[in-house]
């Protein structure tokens, strides 16, 4: 059978023909396209002319485009639609791709050409984007071992291969543990407090497995509302402990040894390259610049948030004791008690609120918001394939011109990891428009009602769509600088700023309508949402900061001294927690952001970007949330520019000044 991965796709917009792509196509295609790319690089290095930007950097950028496309396909499917066979293929592909990257980065002839261009090219004849690409490529080679001796280069290759495989294994273990557990309830009285949609979902889950009663899982749409509403404290404890044990049980999926290996190998890699730690290596190419600056940032926020958090905790304890008969609040009580307190304080019932946010309606409203801001239109094209029957594919037009493909995938299923994320199947560069995907895990429609989103899920959708806009509106010449290819602590700005529209009356009026009566959300309910946005901001901030501290501690100079994952975790975050930490729970073994994703030594960037987004949105509030000039400036200076210039340069061009750190505290009600 002809392998479709060996050539450009002859489909509308060169969209992936998923039904024609078989698991067995990936490895032969990756091997062959790697061989082709290496041959192209060999020819590039043989050129007799003196190295120049055009005959070196431009040619290098064009090499290996099919490898990038095919590996994106493989690893995106491995996250959203995996199975045992695909996981094995991903494990086999990871070292091949790592070796290919090293074959490029450690190619001495290629590096010498790039170094010559870096030292000799007349920068006045290059565009700012070309200068940025040249500096990024040169640094990329140096940071990936180009200046090492042959023995050290070989060592680096081995380290990178091991790290790629360990990261995949970590994710497989976490997925396996998440899916292995179910809470089977057979007595109806045990469902007390649970919303009807959740009960209906659980009934359907049980029927699928041929069982009587109700089945709850560790997937977010099942786990989070159960922990928030179940009146059965013992069942909350049971489910909470199962969630906290993922990757930390005495089974084949235990991630503790993998974490210690990853931490050790990352440190070894950093020192081999001349850095004190993996954090030093990572943060050199971040807005924060150094572990010391990150620590200072975390400490400053902790100092500001702790008094508010302590006050909020005392209020929670008092409420739990006086209203719910809880003498001590445990980990499995916090969501439940917090929800009861919030209902009392704001008279805001999340279950009533959900009725205004049916998924399809929210998606249409989101499209309307970005149409008002950026002149985008979204047209479903059923003839373009998704990778699963539930995936919708949209053609995206800007002012009538085709701009991108957008894949949306909203519901949990076996073979799909938890959480929400944006990714791309094809990045943008000159002459090629991007193919972008957003993946979430929202509650499925039931027999009696559509998929209704919690307000937090609405903000999650807007968040991921912000990332998608960064990808779809990219307008650069080189894919290496396109879309989300920016400093990691800048990448969350486009996503987090989009969440702000969820709190604005003029935006909510577009889509927040009762799924039965079609009544627009009442203004008094919007006021409650705004007030509730400040609810427990101190506690929520400390929680995020604790993850930032933990992440940094796994990657600082002392990382290799860690002997035991749980003990280390406890030492890092106990002072920022108010509940006792169950001995058989471990957050680190499920911390996929840093051990499977790209946030190692970078988890702080969520809070860092919140400062940027709070400051940036103040301009929208000042000028009007749909002000065309402000939106156009954000598009032209941030969304379309990718990583073509330093992020602070881009930000100042949009905002007119550096971000004000107090903007975040003002929005959170902490000052």
Number of H helices, E strands in the chain: 27, 7
| Residue 1, burial from CB neighbour count under 10 angstroms (0-12, 13-18, 19+) | exposed
Contacts of 386-395 with CB under 8 Å at 24 or more apart are 386/18, 387/16, 387/18, 387/77, 387/80, 387/81, 388/80, 388/81, 388/413, 393/15, 395/13
Residues belonging to the chain = 671
CA distance 557 to 577: 25
Nearest Cα residue to 173 out of 244, 90, 246:
246
CA distance 466 to 472: 10
Scanning the structure block, which residue is given the tokens 């249409």? 364
Q: What is the DSSP string of 237-277?
A: HHHHHHHHTTT-SSSTT--HHHHHHHHHHHHHHHHHTT-SS
CA distance 607 to 541: 8
Asked whether 392 and 399 are in contact (CB, 8 A), the reply is: no
CA distance 415 to 395: 27
- Exactly one of 464, 499, 569, 610 is catalytic; name it: 464
Decide the pairing of beta strands 392-398 and 435-439. Answer: unpaired
CA distance 194 to 275: 52
Assigned token pair, 146: 């180009």
Residue 422's H or E segment, with its range, is strand 421-426
Nearest Cα residue to 428 out of 449, 398, 455:
398
Provide φ and ψ at 392, rounded to 5°: -100, 145
Is 464 among the residues known to form the active site? yes
Report the 10 Å Cβ neighbour count for 52: 17
Scanning the structure block, which residue is given the tokens 């699963």? 388
Decide the pairing of beta strands 401-409 and 435-439. Answer: parallel
- Show the DSSP H helices in 106-232 as ranges: 108-120, 128-143, 150-180, 196-208, 220-229
CA distance 607 to 668: 12
3-state secondary structure of 371: helix
CA distance 473 to 632: 12
Directed axis angle between helix 26-46 and helix 84-105, to 10°?
A: 10
Asked whether 246 and 175 are in contact (CB, 8 A), the reply is: no
Contacts of 318-321 with CB under 8 Å at 24 or more apart are 319/344
Assigned token pair, 239: 């489910």
How many angstroms separate the most distant Cα atoms in the chain? 83
Provide φ and ψ at 653, rounded to 5°: -65, -35
Assigned token pair, 165: 């495989």
**Active-site amino acid positions:** 464
């Amino acid at each position: 059978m002809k392998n479709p991965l060996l050539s450009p796709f002859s489909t509308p917009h060169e969209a992936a023909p998923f039904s024609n792509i078989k698991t067995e196509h990936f490895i032969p295609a990756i091997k062959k396209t790697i061989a082709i790319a290496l041959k192209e690089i060999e020819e590039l290095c043989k050129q007799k002319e003196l190295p120049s930007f055009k005959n070196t950097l431009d040619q290098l950028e064009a090499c290996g485009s099919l490898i990038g496309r095919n590996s994106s396909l493989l690893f995106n499917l491995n996250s959203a639609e995996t199975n045992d066979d695909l996981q094995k293929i991903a494990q086999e592909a990871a070292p091949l791709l790592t070796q290919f990257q090293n074959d490029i980065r450690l190619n001495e002839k290629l590096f010498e050409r790039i170094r010559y261009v870096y030292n000799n090219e007349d920068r006045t004849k290059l565009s700012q984007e070309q200068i940025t690409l040249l500096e990024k490529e040169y640094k990329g080679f140096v940071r990936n071992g180009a200046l090492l001796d042959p023995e050290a280069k070989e060592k680096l290759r081995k380290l990178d291969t091991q790290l790629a495989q360990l990261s995949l294994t970590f994710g497989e273990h976490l997925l396996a543990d998440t899916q292995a557990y179910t809470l089977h309830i057979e007595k109806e009285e045990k469902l007390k407090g649970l919303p009807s949609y959740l009960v209906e979902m659980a009934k359907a889950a049980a029927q699928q497995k041929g069982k009587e009663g109700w089945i709850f899982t560790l997937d977010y749409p099942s786990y989070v509302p159960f922990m928030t509403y179940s009146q059965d404290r013992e069942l909350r404890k049971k489910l909470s402990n199962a969630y906290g044990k993922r990757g930390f049980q005495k089974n084949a999926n235990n991630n503790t040894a993998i974490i210690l290996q990853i931490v050790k190998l990352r440190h070894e890699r950093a020192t081999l390259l001349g850095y004190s730690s993996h954090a030093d290596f990572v943060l050199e190419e971040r807005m924060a610049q150094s572990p010391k600056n990150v620590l200072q940032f975390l400490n400053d926020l902790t100092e500001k948030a702790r008094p508010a958090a302590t006050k909020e905790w005392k209020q929670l304890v008092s409420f739990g004791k006086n209203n719910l008969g809880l003498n001590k609040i445990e980990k499995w009580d916090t969501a439940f008690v917090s929800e009861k307190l919030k209902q009392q304080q704001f008279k805001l019932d999340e279950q009533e609120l959900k009725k205004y946010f049916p998924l399809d309606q929210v998606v249409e409203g989101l499209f309307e918001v970005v149409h008002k801001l950026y002149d985008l239109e979204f047209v479903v094209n059923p003839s373009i394939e998704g990778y699963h029957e539930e995936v919708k594919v949209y053609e995206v037009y800007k002012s009538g011109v085709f701009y991108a493909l957008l894949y949306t995938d909203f519901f949990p299923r076996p073979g799909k990891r938890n959480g929400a994320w944006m990714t791309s199947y094809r990045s943008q560069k000159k002459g090629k428009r991007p193919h972008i995907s957003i993946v979430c895990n929202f509650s499925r429609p039931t027999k009696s009602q559509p998929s209704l989103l919690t307000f937090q899920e609405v903000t999650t959708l807007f968040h991921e769509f912000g990332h998608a806009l960064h990808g779809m509106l990219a307008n650069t010449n080189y894919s290496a600088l396109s879309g989300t290819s920016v400093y990691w602590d800048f990448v969350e700005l486009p996503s987090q700023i989009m969440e702000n529209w969820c709190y604005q009356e003029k935006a909510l009026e577009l889509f927040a309508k009762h799924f039965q009566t079609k009544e627009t959300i009442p203004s008094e309910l919007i006021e409650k949402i705004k007030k509730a946005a400040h609810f427990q901001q101190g506690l929520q901030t400390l929680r995020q900061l604790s993850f930032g501290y933990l992440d940094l501690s796994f990657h600082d100079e002392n990382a290799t001294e860690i002997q035991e994952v749980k003990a280390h975790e406890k030492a890092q975050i106990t002072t920022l927690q108010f509940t006792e930490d169950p001995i058989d729970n471990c957050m680190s073994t499920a911390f996929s952001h840093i051990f499977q994703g790209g946030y190692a030594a970078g988890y702080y960037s969520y809070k860092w970007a919140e400062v940027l987004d709070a400051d940036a949105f103040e301009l929208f509030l000042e000028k009007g949330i749909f002000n065309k000039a402000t939106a156009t400036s954000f598009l032209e200076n941030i969304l379309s520019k990718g990583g073509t210039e330093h992020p602070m340069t881009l930000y100042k061009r949009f905002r007119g000044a550096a971000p004000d750190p107090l903007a975040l505290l003002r929005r959170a009600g902490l000052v």
